[in-house]
């Protein structure tokens, strides 16, 4: 029994390591595959809003179901390997993962409104941005922050576009015919341009529009302002990569890294 317990514990730690590791080859392959599946799944959602042949639509749904099964297995493995399962279950990324697979699990009972949550799958990419993943040659802190802000903005617009499309398309197909129509409406609404050429007619659609406007007024100026502050800060600094921690920009007269203290 003791040997079995130790073996199970080691296996759990090994699974947890590879699901979070971005340094080893195995960890990179696993996490890159998950990120790729998130993008493919999001692309399937967009493709399904267009008039495509029924055979192609069936193949896309089959592919999406396979991806969802992989997401479900991944979620269960993360939960199983977590040392503190309650803490993990209540964490932000775990809730995002759960929202990604919940529409599929609940869909078996055919609760249609829960399928709105499928658009939140794109948020899973934020985990990899936080881990400096999918950024390639961007190794400095400011570059990572720029990327994180841009991905966050795109994710929010993408989610609102998917939600407003799914709510309005059944009752207002002329204005919200494809995902591109919904994406156009979301950008125009969140930037408070308000051309008025596309208007939601359902109560839920109007509520989403209000949320878009509030999000646009509160979030976009803050995120753009953060970008500008970072650009101004970077412009007043020199590029001198620290050999200790990799921080790329320092004050012009700095002799030591402000993050780790190593001599430049």
Which pLDDT tens digit goes with each residue over 135-151?
454 555 566 667 777 77
- The domain of 20 spans 1-132
Q: Tell me, yes or no, whether 139 and 224 share the same domain.
A: yes
Q: Mark which of 101, 132, 163 sits at the end of a domain.
A: 132
**Alpha helices, DSSP H only, in the chain?**
2-20, 25-47, 54-81, 85-89, 92-107, 125-130, 141-168, 179-190, 203-235
Tell me if 255 is assigned to some domain.
no
Instruction: Say what the pLDDT of residue 59 is.
Output: 92
Residue pair 117/97 in contact by the 8 Å Cβ criterion:
no
**Do 141 and 64 belong to one domain?**
no
Asked if residue 250 belongs to a domain, the reply is: no
Residues 38, 122 contacting (CB under 8 angstroms): yes
* Torsion sign, CA atoms 98, 200, 46, 189: negative
248 in a structural domain: no
Q: Tell me, what CATH number does 102's domain have?
A: 1.20.120.350
Q: Between the CA atoms of 98, 149, 39 and 104, what dihedral angle is there, to the nearest 10 degrees?
A: 20
**Same domain assignment for residues 217 and 105:** no
The count of structural domains within the chain is: 2
CA atoms of 217 and 120, how far apart (whole Å): 21
CB 149 within 8 A of CB 120: no
Is 262 within a domain? no
CATH number of the domain that 151 lies in? 1.10.287.70
- Extract the residue ranges of the chain whose pLDDT is less than 70: 1-10, 22, 103-117, 129-145, 226-227, 229-240, 246-253
Task: Tell me the per-residue pLDDT of 178-237, one tens digit each, with 9 for 90 and over.
Answer: 999 999 999 988 887 878 788 899 898 899 899 888 888 877 777 777 667 666 666 566
Shared domain check, 148 and 107: no
Shared-domain flag, residues 178 and 97: no
Task: Answer yes or no: is 20 within a domain.
Answer: yes
99 is a domain residue: yes
Residues 48 and 128 in one domain: yes
Q: 94 and 183: one domain?
A: no
């Amino acid at each position: 029994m003791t040997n079995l317990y130790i073996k199970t514990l080691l296996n759990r730690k090994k699974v947890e390591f590879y699901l979070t590791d971005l340094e080893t080859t195995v960890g990179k392959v696993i996490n890159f595959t998950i990120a790729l599946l998130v993008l493919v799944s999001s692309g399937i959602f967009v493709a399904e809003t267009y008039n495509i042949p029924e055979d192609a639509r069936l193949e896309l749904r089959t592919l999406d179901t396979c991806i969802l099964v992989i997401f479900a297995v991944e979620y269960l493995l993360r939960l199983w390997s977590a040392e503190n399962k309650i803490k993990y279950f209540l964490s932000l990324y775990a809730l995002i993962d759960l929202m990604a697979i919940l529409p599929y699990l609940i869909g078996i009972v055919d609760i249609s409104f829960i399928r709105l949550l499928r658009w939140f799958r794109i948020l899973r990419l934020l985990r990899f941005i936080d881990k400096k993943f999918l950024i390639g040659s961007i190794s400095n802190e400011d570059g990572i922050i720029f990327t994180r802000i841009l991905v966050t903005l795109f994710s929010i617009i993408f989610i609102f576009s998917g939600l407003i499309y799914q709510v309005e398309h059944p009752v207002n197909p002329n204005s919200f015919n494809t995902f591109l129509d919904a994406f156009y409406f979301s950008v125009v609404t969140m930037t408070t341009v308000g051309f008025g050429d596309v208007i939601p007619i359902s109560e839920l659609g109007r509520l989403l529009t209000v949320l878009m406007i509030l999000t646009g007024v509160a979030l976009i100026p803050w995120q753009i302002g953060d970008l500008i502050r970072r650009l101004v800060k970077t412009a007043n600094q020199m590029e001198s990569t620290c050999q200790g921690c990799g921080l790329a920009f320092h004050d012009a007269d700095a002799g030591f890294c402000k993050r780790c203290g190593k001599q430049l």
